[in-house]
Structure 1
């Protein structure tokens, strides 16, 4: 057998990114972002298998070695450690098959698909807040459409989006329960929807400022405060609040802001970065806020972390304005339609909206960066009150941009 215990506890923090063997099939994978996971490589019946043993932050070197030895013992018995772990999980679920237990297990199984392994808990929160307080202790096999209907009825017409998410999560939980071998009704959520009927909730759009009024509001942001500067950059770039609030000095590359995929709205777990062209005015705002940076973040809060999602909205509320910060994306999009001849694909890309079918996006290898740069420079001129003329979009549309 190959040598065991190659790694030293004291040297693990200093190991470079990559895969590091401890011997006997136990490996530590350190990622570029600083995270690290233990995994086990075994060969069972001539088939090579890899089994995760947990994050380094949760599992010590000693614990990983104990888990690895258990895996090797199972292999010596001719058993597949991964299948054995799955069997044990199924048995545990049958022994404690309340809706809460199965829901938590389903959440654990989906974490790899969620941003940052689902640490924010947003996927689970609709269940935690609106379903589990009433049904969490009920065996999942006993939960029926009537139970679901009575549980979600209080929010079905008042918090329609939350109720929809809770229902969708429940459907996933029931499928997970069925995969565990539990006798559940996979149609219970559809039946509950039929009992609840169509939601009467009428969604309202966020109030947006007319693009012609944006220059006056921009001019009113005259104080060099974090909030004023954040609102200025939000208006100039047309980005969402989250990537702006978490803007780090490392995200700025000359005249371009590169938003990491994990900060972009879209598919959870997305790793695709998005480039935002920075106008001269945007770069000026960034230079003004740079001296206030803390830990590299350009918009820190007063105490710790970054400014909250409500910080900019409160400024507009105090001014008794009906509009909200997110509405400036609509202002920009309307300006693109009414004051420029930017093609729809380019205009939608300004707001980081996906356009076309999946096949079209696969073949389109451009993010129209230079076309957007010209548009955003012109938007900045409008916002700062320097011009209101029609923008002629003269760049050729068939230029491949990589």
Structure 2
């Protein structure tokens, strides 16, 4: 057969081998369905053996016996296979990969993918994204819509981004599906709770109770004095500190990747004293090391407060500091917000604001240190 001249050669049952003048050869199945003659290609002779061609021919002849057009049926199967490749899980992962460059630590720090992974994909992950409508989304998120409102909102937002990505891929998705689902879900009854904080008047007593020269006590004291979140404290490295300035790397600050920049913290005398006490306990340059390796655990400081029967948590000291600024001082709101590394003003004003107000923050942080150590019992203070 390989050496046969160009022409058509019948194998029986409608299976033909068509040899061309250029030496190529193609398997073709000829059938009649609904009074129409159909020719269906089964592959070229080099990649499909005679045995394989006969098996394929028999498969498609069975389709004809069922009264179906084999060419249309094969196209339907191909479309289904393509849709199966575009499940919500597959498209969501692709959308996440495309978005990673915009996210801090490639999305790991803020766990961008978690709301989808935990609350959406277990139910809808295997469904082709083109088949998903607002009712599917509504039914998936209904059980957490009124109990975990913030998480459900994040899941819906991430899902909308995935649908946008699917549309960019050329898939036929309903771009309004998430908004329609939100309308079906209605207003969430969940009321987010702020992280419990100690009243600012009680901070000095708590601070002074941290009297042990342990990593946990010193880390908590440093967190209170600087007003920062726990992550920069936990990952504080000695080479980040120069004189009375602690320069926190951008990746340790909570901000969008496009807005990330290092943050300078003016260190009060008390903060420098904490560093001095912590240095003998440091390991590999890490100021507050973990018991065995790495840095102190994120839960260590919270656990200490919990064991003391307090509802307040370490993050709440930022609120304590901010309320103290508002109620017990005349420092400006802009200065207080900057001390907490919060963005102030609109995009335009931030674009032109090229200062971190470091020198103005020095007296603010010094007064706060005086207050928490008991040197200034809640008196109203102002910039000298």
TM over 0.5: yes
Cα offset, 1:353, TM superposition: 1.1
8 Å CA contact retained: 1:126, 1:166:
yes
Matches of 1:271 and 1:150, distance apart in 2 = 37
Asked whether the equivalents of residues 279 and 377 of structure 1 are also in contact (C-alpha less than 8 Å), the reply is yes
Partner residue of 1:321? 310
User: Where does residue 176 of structure 2 map in the other structure?
Assistant: 187
8 A Cα contact 1:209 1:323, kept in partner: yes
How far apart, in 1, do the equivalents of 2:187 and 2:347 lie?
31
Aligned equivalent of 1:273: 262
Pair 1:261–1:270, CA change in 2 (3 A): farther
Is 1:306 the counterpart of 2:298? The answer is no
Give distance in 1, aligned partners of 2:198 and 2:232. 21
Select which of 335, 338, 354 maps to 2:327.
Answer: 338
Contact 1:155 1:163 in 2 (8 A): yes
CA contact (8 A) 2:200 2:320 kept: yes
- Find the counterpart in structure 1 of residue 3 from structure 2: none
Q: Which is further off, 116-125 or 105-114?
A: 116-125
CA contact (8 A) 2:83 2:128 kept: no
Cα RMSD (Å) of the superposition?
1.6
- Output the CA distance in 1 between the equivalents of 2:331 and 2:111: 36
Q: Normalized against structure 2, the TM-score is what?
A: 0.76
CA distance in 2, matches of 1:177, 1:125: 19
CA 1:93–1:178 in structure 2 vs 1: closer, same or farther (change >3 Å)? farther
Native 8 Å contact 2:119 2:141 kept in 1: yes
What is the CA–CA distance in structure 1 between the aligned matches of 2:84 and 2:305, rounded to whole Å? Answer: 54
The equivalent residue for 2:208 is 219
Counterpart CA distance in 2 for 1:342 and 1:178 is 50
1-side partners of 2:109 and 2:341: how far apart?
Answer: 23
Q: Which of 373, 376, 379 matches 2:365?
A: 376
Distance 1:93 1:292 in 2: 58
User: 1:269: how far off?
Assistant: 5.2
Contact 1:260 1:271 in 2 (8 A): no
How far, CA to CA, are the matches of 1:390 and 1:293 in structure 2?
37
- Aligned equivalent of 1:241: 230
Asked if structure 2 preserves the Cα contact closer than 8 Å seen for 1:262 and 1:270, the reply is no
Give 1:390's aligned residue.
380
Partner in structure 1 of residue 146 of structure 2: 157
Corresponding pairs, count: 303
Partner SS, residue 275 of structure 1: strand
Aligned pairs for 1:353-364 (under 5 A) are: 353-364=342-353
Matches within 5 A, 1:1-400: 96-120=85-109, 122-268=111-257, 270-388=259-377, 389-394=379-384
Structure of greater Rg: 2
Question: Is residue 292–residue 299 contact of structure 1 (8 Å, CA) maintained in 2?
Answer: yes
Q: CA–CA distance in 1 between the matches of 2:133 and 2:314?
A: 42
Query: Could you list the runs of 5+ residues in structure 1 that have no partner in the other structure?
Result: 1-91, 395-402
Distance in 2 separating the partners of 1:117 and 1:259: 19
Distance of 2:233 and 2:371 partners within structure 1: 21
The CA deviation string for residues 220-244 of structure 1, in whole angstroms up to 9 with x for no partner, is 1011111100110011111111111
1:303 Cα deviation from its structure 2 partner: 2.1
Quote the offset at 1:119 in angstroms.
4.2
Quote the Cα distance in structure 1 between the aligned partners of 2:239 and 2:214: 22
Q: Does 380-389 or 124-133 show the bigger shift?
A: 380-389
Q: TM-score, normalised by structure 1?
A: 0.73
Structure 2 unaligned blocks of 5 or more: 1-80
Cα distance in structure 1, aligned partners of 2:190 and 2:84: 40
